Amino acid sequence: MEQRVFNFSPGPSTLPLSVLEKAQKELLSYQHSGISVVEMSHRGKAFLEIYNEAVFLLKELMDIPDTYEVLFLHGGASLQFSAIPLNLLGENGTGAYIDSGNFAYQALQEGKKFGKTVCLASSRDEQYTFVPSFSLSGKEAYDYLHITTNNTIYGTRFPDIPDTGTIPLIADASSNILSEPLPIEKFGIIYAGAQKNIGPSGMCVSIIRKDLLGKAREDCPAVMNWTVQAKAQSMYNTPSTFSIYMAKLGFEWLKSLGGVQGIEKINIQKAKLLYDFLDESTLFKGTADPTYRSRMNVTFTTPNSEIDEQFIKGAAAKGLVNLKGHRVVGGMRASIYNAMPIEGVVALVDFMKSFEASNPS
Ligand code: PMP
């Protein structure tokens, strides 16, 4: 087999080796059918079984009650930035947003195209190093309140999910879905681009409380209309069949590790290894406010961009790849999603220690 490396990419990101191997094994002939998953009809029995199992497993893993609809949609998380106002803006005509990072900001900008928006709190002027706090009086007339549970670029997360009372809470959980238990009943909608903790890119998993269906605007495109998609089991048009199949394999893998509760323990350990080292390091410095540190994306810097570059190059030579921070922030970012084994994090910390020893600051 080709040598694989530890891939710290923020997304598309590393997938479990056993999932890739199973897909490889089944690629030419799915369960002795003589055809591949990518060649079969989405309306056929074999694919419908895959689809139903994927929905079943996700509901089981996240403990999603039947009062929620699970959809596998096109267009990644970003298409939902527009689908949210198109499906939800109603009598109040206003969507509220918490601006805690680049994608939260993009969601807000898209929302503005379709109706009124209010930004209740923002940490933009402080380079998104923390998640801004906000409060609600309970009297606000908002059709929804949108948050981003984990900010992929800045390495921060909501430490607690807020209580928004009767205002439906809409959460972009692209970069921490399935990494820890989420209190489902606090949310109106949880959605997530698949390319971090689920499978290939291009797909979005949307978990929608059923009472939020049926509110879409007349001019909402059918593929983006959750009510249409819910009636059609995500198949108003041809769904991303390969992505759904890969998601199903990923869900099976996660279940075998003890589900979300099992992986959370490992994720806490992985993040602690990195943050404990960052806190004692004389060369590296974590960039996120410790209270809001993400367990999925660990962002850090050295004293200058030349040392950053040397570090990224040196790490790649040791098989620790894709550690460069996002282009808008620079520095480094280690994305340690569910499929990153603890051995990868140990190898990274070991390399950081030896790099520090040879670069005394
Ligand atoms: N939200 C978050 C938190 C993300 O990290 C990303 C992608 N990195 C997106 C939204 C956009 O996802 P997509 O590219 O699937 O549209």
pLDDT tens, residue by residue, 2-33: 899 999 999 999 999 999 999 999 999 999 99
* Bridge partners, residue 307, by sequence: none
> Among candidates 178, 196, 192, 194, which has minimal Cα distance to 13?
196
Please state whether 202 falls in left (phi above 0), alpha (psi between -120 and 50) or beta: left
- Mutual angle of helices 259-280 and 342-358, in 10-degree steps: 10
Q: What are phi and psi of 58, to 5 degrees?
A: -65, -40
Q: Measured from the CB, is residue 11 less than 6 Å from ligand 1? A: yes
For the CA of 148, the closest atom of ligand 1 is: 3
Q: Are strands 150-151 and 156-157 parallel, antiparallel or unpaired?
A: antiparallel
pLDDT digits (tens, 9 = 90+) for 93-123: 999 999 999 999 999 999 999 999 999 999 9
| Closest C-alpha to ligand 1, atom 14 | 76
CB contact set of 161 (below 8 Å; sequence gap of 6+): 149, 169, 171, 182, 183, 186, 187
Range from 12-26, 130-144, 259-273 carrying the lowest mean pLDDT: 130-144
CB atoms within 10 A of CB 343: 9
Q: What are phi and psi of 135, to 5 degrees?
A: -140, 155
Q: Measured from the CB, is residue 103 less than 6 Å from ligand 1? A: yes
Sign of CA dihedral 193, 197, 202, 204: negative
For the CA of 80, the closest atom of ligand 1 is: 16
- Above 80 in pLDDT, residue 361? no
Distance between CA atoms of residues 343 and 349, nearest Å:
10
CA of 280 to the centre of ligand 1 (A): 32
Higher pLDDT, 300 or 137: 300
- Above 90 in pLDDT, residue 357? yes
Q: Measured from the CB, is residue 226 less than 6 Å from ligand 1? A: no
Distance between CA atoms of residues 230 and 138, nearest Å:
30
In this structure, what token pair is assigned to residue 49? Answer: 């079984």
Q: Measured from the CB, is residue 175 less than 6 Å from ligand 1? A: yes
CA of 357 to the centre of ligand 1 (A): 36
- Rounded mean pLDDT, 284-304: 97
CA of 282 to the centre of ligand 1 (A): 33
Distance between CA atoms of residues 118 and 20, nearest Å:
43
pLDDT in the model for residue 91: 76
Distance between CA atoms of residues 183 and 166, nearest Å:
16
Average pLDDT in the chain? 97
Q: Measured from the CB, is residue 198 less than 6 Å from ligand 1? A: no
- Above 80 in pLDDT, residue 1? no
pTM: 0.98
- Running DSSP on this structure, what letter comes out for residue 63? T
To the nearest whole percent, how much of the chain has pLDDT over 90?
A: 95
CA angle, 85 then 230 then 143, to 5°: 25
To the nearest whole percent, how much of the chain has pLDDT over 70?
A: 99
The model's confidence at residue 90, banded by pLDDT at 50, 70 and 90, is confident
Q: Measured from the CB, is residue 297 less than 6 Å from ligand 1? A: no
pLDDT in the model for residue 360: 65
